[in-house]
Amino acid sequence: MDTLWTPFDVGDHAVSGGSATRASKVMPLQEIVGCSPAYLHLIAQIRKMADNDASVLIEGETGSGKELAARAMHYLSQRRQKPFVPLNCGAIPDALIEAELFGHVRGSFTDAKQSRIGVIAHASGGTLFLDEVDTLSAKGQVTLLRFLQDHRYRPIGHSAEQVSDVRIIAASNKPLMELVADGGFRSDLLYRLNILSLAVPPLRERTEDIGPLAQHYLRMFCARYERSPKRLGLGTVQWLQQYPWPGNVRELENLIHRLVLLSDGEEIDYAGDPSIVGHPAPCVCPDFQSAKAEAIESFERAYLARVMAVSQGNVSAAARLACKERRALGKLLKKHGIDKGDYRA
């Protein structure tokens, strides 16, 4: 089975994972494990996109490996000696977006007690990875668009304009074209980001890779915790192949991690038994927070259905009725799987 999950190095030849010296030179393609046609296509696309500096938009479900693909693209490129800087767009408050991207000088605003360079300067010569770019606010989108037009920027409080040599790779859990259609994302920003596009398939579409991935994580965690080598039982392998993996590769990695820590003996037998992975027993009466969350979700769904019915599927009109921003209402509609087309006359 080893040949099914052998990592790749910078060149065109596969290398084995047995040599520590050799492994230190292996690029992050070692974490994108598989043997399926979807995997082989993904690797070919990553290699091709690593040969240029154009912006890339990576789309795929949560946990499918978008950041791994971005890292592989960077370390297979001519920029590999320069930094790879990841930035979670969803974690940046509106008030700090410019400071986070461009940096600031001391005293330029109330909390600027010392000068600080932004992530664009940190990534100079390398790659800036914008994760969850779909979560950028309207202000954040304008700020990023202005930089992408000519890669010029000015740190807050600085008088001189600077130019950055950085490659932009962005990732989104949601199809940005759909967000553009709903008014939640700028079309001009999408076109700047989407010069090249890479779709990372969910694990359920590459079932041939589940076995090699499980073996890869099994070896990795046994080595990390200095456990004797373990193997997956036949029933375990069958269950892994049949499970739909809504959390994708990250969910599989976490499961194998827990199984290594909690299973005794050389063979791991698992068939979805929650006691093995430490899940709590089902509770007949949910706790207060869970019950509250369930009630809120029920209210949101019913309210959204009502305003969409009154507005006949017009999201802008529904947002005005609800006294909410259109983008925020659009997020709630997607959260609850409500299709505006179902309410149009």
pLDDT in tens, 291-327: 777 778 778 887 888 878 778 888 898 888 888 899 9
pLDDT reported for residue 208: 93
Distance between CA atoms of residues 70 and 47, nearest Å: 11
| Same domain, residue pair 232 and 301 | no
Is this prediction's pTM over 0.85?
A: no
Residue range 180-227, pLDDT digits in tens: 998 999 999 999 999 999 999 999 999 999 999 999 999 999 999 999
CATH code: domain of residue 216: 1.10.8.60
Q: Is the pLDDT reported for residue 277 higher than 50? A: no
- Domain C-terminal end among 268, 297, 319: 268
| DSSP bridge pairs for 84 | 127
Query: Is the residue at 12 inside a domain?
Result: no
- Asked whether residue 280 is assigned to any structural domain, the reply reads no
Q: Residue 195 belongs to a domain with what CATH number?
A: 3.40.50.300
Residue 24 in any domain: the answer is no
**Are 223 and 243 part of one and the same domain?**
yes
Phi-psi region of 63 (alpha: psi -120 to 50; beta: other; left: phi over 0): left
In a domain, 174, yes or no: yes
In this predicted structure, the answer to whether residue 12 has a pLDDT above a threshold of 80 is: no
Total domains in the chain come to: 3
Q: Categorize the per-residue pLDDT at 109 as very low, low, confident or very high, splitting at 50, 70 and 90.
A: low
pLDDT at 310: 79
- Average pLDDT of the segment spanning 233-262: 92
Q: Does 11 map to a domain?
A: no
The answer on 217 and 303 residing in a single domain is: no
Backbone angles phi, psi at 171, to 5 degrees: -135, 145
User: Do both 144 and 72 map to the same domain?
Assistant: yes
Instruction: Tell me: do 188 and 229 sit in the same domain.
Output: no
Query: 40 and 175 share a domain?
Result: yes
Residues 299, 246 share a domain: no
Residues 191 and 211 in one domain: no
Tokens 């997607």 identify what position?
334
pLDDT tens digits for range 63-81: 999 999 999 999 999 999 9
- Structural domain includes residue 105: no
One domain, residues 263 and 316 = no
Query: What does the pLDDT read at residue 312?
Result: 83
Q: Which domain holds residue 294?
A: 288-343
- β-pairing, 167-172 with 127-131? parallel
Asked which of 238, 268, 298 is the last residue of a domain, the reply is 268
Q: pLDDT tier at 23 (50, 70, 90 boundaries)? A: very low
Residue 224 lies in a domain: yes
Residue 229 maps to a domain: yes
- Whether residues 230 and 81 share a domain: the answer is no
- Per-residue confidence (pLDDT) for residue 189, from 0 to 100: 97
Q: What is the identity of the amino acid at 56?
A: V
pLDDT in tens, 160-181: 889 999 999 999 999 999 999 9
Q: What integer best gives the mean pLDDT of the chain?
A: 83
Together in a domain, 67 and 137: yes
231 & 175 share domain: no
Give me the long-range contacts of 342-345 (CB less than 8 A, separation at least 24).
Answer: 342/308, 342/313, 343/308, 343/309, 343/311, 343/312, 343/313, 344/312, 344/313, 345/312, 345/313
> Which tokens in the block code for residue 146?
């202005």
Identify the band that residue 328 occupies on the pLDDT scale cut at 50, 70 and 90.
confident
